[in-house]
Structure 1
């Protein structure tokens, strides 16, 4: 395969299987769906690149785009890759304040948004960047031009041409600097881990503007399989498209697994939710071990979970052919070329490898003296080389001088039949330093939960008494991010951070 840029890979796949379907735009009915082949991706992306070039977008120019998960968005992103522009995707869930920060910090010359008939708020006022309406709701209006007028494709795959953004739950978002090489490496490692079959049909139900977008695109280009794109993922509405196209590979994150499980449980016994599904895969959030066994038993497919972050889109991934014990209790093994170091004392995970980013936009070098990137995540490596992620540094609750892992309690809470999902947070407490607060969602028809009942369950699961929650909050739905639906714990800390006694919340007696 010649060349190491993302565009080199697009051209290689287009030459290898030009007529094979690459993307299917999902819709509520088959007559509203659209397809594009790998050859079509290359041809149309070149014309879009030429149209953008005529508007002043060229090599090295910075472009921020905020577009939904559509075929046209993939074309725009590939067109920018063909031009060698610096592109900064922004997930549709970002509000005006966050978008303003991105535009200011990147110094973007251009801001690409959907046209008037598209989705998303109007962000045209008070912007230094030139606004380009990338396309309308029907997919029309894409920039168009003559590919013969284009400059040569970029040659240096190690040049920073991608800026992705962290969630920014406690401060402004951080710009993560990537190269074609780092994103291609991550996608190649994902492909090698999942081992897609020629007959597979993938799916992208997460925002394409997430770093998983190019990660999964590389998987499609390397394997030659198609993927279903969903602008909005919602169950049961999205199930018809999954069934219609025989999706075999699905996933996204832990929240997606539980949504599929909940939909399966609403069906009559013996009826399979997605008959063709053979593998759920994802990452980005902790996976309770019990969830693995529920997915395998009830959905009738395999589940492989991995560890990744915006700074390194592929760190570890479960092997579909690994043992159930490893798939349930670990986050898989790293591919060749990804080094994981567990920091003595703190247990922090640090990373070094070709898939790791080049640091943060406008910030000091984050790497340690040996070139490893601190992640803020905690974990351990097993004797077999599997990674077990045990929590976040900021999710360690220091209660009366004792360290309490939020993730450990969350995994045990998940086993309770009246808990659908849980988040454990530390809240300021005058007596304890921090108190342990469990915030739970309940499934339909569940019995009312009490703090005493929750503590009894946790003790029955073997949790040490000093780790038991002092506060229980039951919510209709945990607040989640717009990308992989990770729980936004900072919102919970702000909501429930008052004194428990003042708020009338029952607290158990200290041991």
Structure 2
């Protein structure tokens, strides 16, 4: 991290960081979307006017304001306006519906709720009223406006809880994760430090701004003073046009995005799909080593992958100057100030980027150990060079006849099979074995006559690759597409377990 970025990373609050960046480079763009651009100076000035409009509506420091908005320049302006006021923000992913939204509104006790109106054919305003939400207002093209002269002083400290993010719920209700401005700045600083970016770069946000990755990435823009292209709806064909038009140098999001770019590159081998691209970066889901090697070999760009979660937006990150082996097989190293402790194989964390806990005090007590380390539920180990290797989730270990089997190990091997586009390995209840190993495969495009994947072919391949016999799948399911969430396209294994738990093979 250069000296200027390091100095900015000491900002007390997100608003303080935005103001300091605007003072340094007021005329440089921060957000690009379609034919629109917002500069750092405009972000500061327009956000103050929006803050004044919100103040006129009754929003005060500490007021809880939920917002469920797509990735737009206006969304960023509203969020920074709330940061200027010192309100407590509760971002909600725009794809969530009544159950998740109602839960978030009730648990956060939101006094205001910003929605986009009708978006992608769904009436969010009607849903908000159906749920009995308070202070509903639309914030899509038009935002509240007022005279900044009425505003109180901005918040002077960044250690109070001002953010409630929501874990993506599976079969249970999501958790409300409590963050401060300083924890978000610390997470974004980790990302910025690892990627070695500069003011000449052009980034991109292909994920919801309401995701924890939104402030994580925005902090990086403020630290280094470069812009990002925003995508309200990510569709690859349209996105590629925007990447090329704006000269994007850094793209990514998660493993699913890497795979999409690779598939597009394979349609035109030898010709770079995005001429200006030099780096793919992301996190949010496991990265098989073969994906790394394919990106570097076929796309001619570097790939750095990291490890984060809603509770800790950035834990470790690969760096472009890491070795190929470390970039392919690890999640990178933690920044200064992030402590990693491995206890009985579980990764535990302590540091400024770690959340303050959950809305439910009982969940907070359960999540932290006696030394203040967050229990992640992830399994891993730290190498001699300080790199973190994740081996799976504690809930993703398959126990077959008393033997622990890592689903990730099998997935990494199967990713090397030319007929496998993507794969999820799960454990299913089995009366004889306790659990049986089931591989669910999304096939890759194959030449005509290549033949279908069968359990026999898959297990023969795994044997040839040296996988132990007791780890071989006993069930194979081939699907058109694996179920994924709408944020970072993470595979939803719980849906696969629900689908196949009653099957017997």
Smaller-chain TM-score bracket:
over 0.9
Match of 2:117 among 112, 115, 118: 115
Shift in CA distance, 437/68, structure 1 to aligned 2, threshold 3 Å? same
* Aligned partners of 2:67 and 2:114 also within 8 Å: yes
- Which of 120-129 and 356-365 deviates more? 120-129
CA distance in 2, matches of 1:416, 1:69: 36
Shift in CA distance, 119/143, structure 1 to aligned 2, threshold 3 Å? farther
What's the TM-score once normalised by structure 1's chain length? 0.94
CA distance in 2, matches of 1:128, 1:116: 18
* Aligned partners of 2:400 and 2:435 also within 8 Å: yes
* Number of residues of Structure 1 aligned to a counterpart in Structure 2: 489
- Give the aligned partner of residue 289 of structure 1: 289
- Give the aligned partner of residue 4 of structure 2: none
Match of 2:482 among 475, 478, 481: 478
Match of 1:61 among 47, 60, 63: 63
- Give the aligned partner of residue 151 of structure 2: 150
Task: Give the match's secondary structure for 2:358.
Answer: coil
CA distance in 1, matches of 2:253, 2:266: 20
Matches within 5 A, 1:212-223: 212-223=213-224
1:142-177 Cα offsets, whole Å, 9 max, x none, are 110111101111112000000111111120000110
1:205-247 Cα offsets, whole Å, 9 max, x none, are 0000000000000000000001000111122221000000110
Task: Give the match's secondary structure for 1:236.
Answer: helix
1:395-451 Cα offsets, whole Å, 9 max, x none, are 000011000100011111100000000000111111111111100101223631000
Segments of structure 2 that go 5 or more residues without pairing to the other structure are: 1-7
Match of 2:20 among 12, 19, 37: 12
What is the CA distance between 1:126 and its match in structure 2? Answer: 3.7
Task: Give the match's secondary structure for 1:125.
Answer: helix
- Give the aligned partner of residue 360 of structure 2: 362
What is the CA distance between 1:5 and its match in structure 2? Answer: 0.3
* Aligned partners of 1:263 and 1:273 also within 8 Å: yes
CA distance in 2, matches of 1:240, 1:399: 48
Q: Is 1:203 aligned to 2:204, yes or no? A: yes
* Aligned partners of 1:124 and 1:131 also within 8 Å: no
Task: Give the match's secondary structure for 1:431.
Answer: coil
1:55-98 Cα offsets, whole Å, 9 max, x none, are 11111011111000000000011011111110010111211111
1:260-305 Cα offsets, whole Å, 9 max, x none, are 00111112x3211011001101111111111111000111100000
What is the CA distance between 1:133 and its match in structure 2? Answer: 3.0
Matches within 5 A, 1:38-77: 38-77=40-79
CA distance in 1, matches of 2:153, 2:465: 62
CA distance in 2, matches of 1:100, 1:317: 34
Q: Is 1:496 aligned to 2:500, yes or no? A: yes
* Aligned partners of 2:117 and 2:123 also within 8 Å: no
Shift in CA distance, 117/353, structure 1 to aligned 2, threshold 3 Å? closer
CA distance in 2, matches of 1:198, 1:216: 14
CA distance in 2, matches of 1:56, 1:382: 52
* Aligned partners of 1:63 and 1:85 also within 8 Å: yes
* Aligned partners of 1:68 and 1:119 also within 8 Å: no
Task: Give the match's secondary structure for 2:423.
Answer: strand
Task: Give the match's secondary structure for 2:163.
Answer: strand
Shift in CA distance, 116/399, structure 1 to aligned 2, threshold 3 Å? closer
1:349-387 Cα offsets, whole Å, 9 max, x none, are 000000000011123222101110000000000111100
Matches within 5 A, 1:412-491: 412-445=413-446, 447-491=451-495
* Aligned partners of 1:303 and 1:327 also within 8 Å: yes
- Give the aligned partner of residue 250 of structure 2: 249
CA distance in 1, matches of 2:120, 2:55: 23
Task: Give the match's secondary structure for 1:14.
Answer: helix
Matches within 5 A, 1:313-332: 313-332=313-332
Shift in CA distance, 462/118, structure 1 to aligned 2, threshold 3 Å? closer
CA distance in 2, matches of 1:23, 1:87: 21
Shift in CA distance, 355/326, structure 1 to aligned 2, threshold 3 Å? same
What is the CA distance between 1:127 and its match in structure 2? Answer: 3.6
CA distance in 1, matches of 2:500, 2:176: 30
CA distance in 2, matches of 1:49, 1:125: 24
Matches within 5 A, 1:129-208: 129-136=133-140, 139=141, 141-208=142-209
Task: Give the match's secondary structure for 1:98.
Answer: helix
1:177-226 Cα offsets, whole Å, 9 max, x none, are 00000000111111111111221000000000000000000000000001
Matches within 5 A, 1:384-399: 384-399=385-400
* Aligned partners of 1:63 and 1:109 also within 8 Å: yes
Task: Give the match's secondary structure for 1:500.
Answer: coil
What's the TM-score once normalised by structure 2's chain length? 0.95
* Aligned partners of 1:429 and 1:499 also within 8 Å: no
Task: Give the match's secondary structure for 2:211.
Answer: coil
CA distance in 1, matches of 2:117, 2:387: 46
* Aligned partners of 1:279 and 1:302 also within 8 Å: yes
Segments of structure 1 that go 5 or more residues without pairing to the other structure are: 27-32, 502-511
1:331-358 Cα offsets, whole Å, 9 max, x none, are 10000000000113xx000000000000
Task: Give the match's secondary structure for 1:45.
Answer: helix
Task: Give the match's secondary structure for 1:124.
Answer: helix
Task: Give the match's secondary structure for 1:200.
Answer: coil
* Aligned partners of 2:177 and 2:359 also within 8 Å: yes
**Structural RMSD (CA):** 1.3
- Give the aligned partner of residue 506 of structure 1: none
